[in-house]
């Protein structure tokens, strides 16, 4: 899953949200030595979400559809597609409008800026200026995000072309997201409950 899903799956705890958001940018196992407890918990949750997603049979169907052309970038593209479906169907998952939720999330991240990893500090202004979280709801927003990622990969990922697959197989990817996401919500809620 990508940024929007990681924030959403954190619940209402700001520190867990921050940890879950920065999870991809933190290396090593000694996270409780590096960060306050609830932020470290968010990083742990991020890793659980990634592992659960990577091993889910429904997500595998989405990845298989993309793998012939995009190879090992297929999971990254699926993460983006699923964030699109979360954003596009946001009212099914949250009472707060996505525009307000996105703004609130940016404010939380800014509040914790001193402890954010350098890479996160670098991308934050671009994320806020482009309002990525809100724009994931539109296919153009996903295309822009994937094109930006394609420019930053050392190899020819073709991620800038992946929007074609989303448009061609939209209903298939959407069904897979709807089949998978309740399982991920359940796993995340249970993970947080166990750590209270």
- Taking the C-alpha atoms of residue 196 and residue 169, their distance in angstroms, rounded to an integer, is 40
- Taking the C-alpha atoms of residue 86 and residue 39, their distance in angstroms, rounded to an integer, is 24
pTM of the predicted model as reported, rounded to 2 decimal places: 0.95
- The 8-class DSSP code of residue 162 comes to T
- Cα–Cα distances (Å) from 68 to 31, 64, 174, in that order, read 36, 8, 20
- Taking the C-alpha atoms of residue 32 and residue 136, their distance in angstroms, rounded to an integer, is 32
Domain that holds residue 80: 3-194
- Taking the C-alpha atoms of residue 16 and residue 37, their distance in angstroms, rounded to an integer, is 9
pLDDT in tens, 60-118: 999 999 999 999 999 999 999 999 999 999 999 999 999 999 999 999 999 999 999 99
pLDDT in tens, 143-160: 999 998 888 887 888 999
What's the total number of domains in the chain? 1
- Cα–Cα distances (Å) from 185 to 93, 181, 189, in that order, read 10, 6, 6
């Amino acid at each position: 899953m990508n940024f929007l899903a990681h924030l959403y799956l954190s619940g209402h705890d700001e520190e867990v949200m921050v940890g879950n958001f920065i999870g991809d940018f933190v290396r090593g196992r000694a996270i409780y030595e590096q960060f306050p407890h609830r932020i470290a918990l968010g990083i742990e949750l991020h890793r659980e979400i990634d592992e659960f997603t990577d091993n889910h049979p429904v997500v595998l169907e989405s990845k298989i559809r993309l793998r012939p052309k995009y190879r090992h970038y297929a999971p990254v593209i699926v993460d983006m597609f699923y964030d699109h479906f979360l954003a596009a169907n946001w009212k099914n998952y949250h009472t707060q409008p996505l525009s307000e939720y996105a703004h609130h999330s940016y404010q939380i991240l800014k509040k914790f800026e001193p402890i954010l990893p350098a890479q996160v500090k670098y991308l934050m202004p671009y994320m806020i200026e482009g309002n990525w979280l809100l724009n994931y709801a539109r296919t153009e927003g996903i295309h822009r995000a994937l094109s930006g990622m394609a420019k930053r990969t050392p190899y020819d990922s073709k991620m800038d072309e992946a929007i074609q697959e989303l448009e061609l197989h939209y209903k298939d990817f959407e069904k897979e997201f709807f089949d998978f996401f309740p399982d991920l919500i359940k796993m995340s809620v249970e993970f947080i409950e166990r750590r209270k």
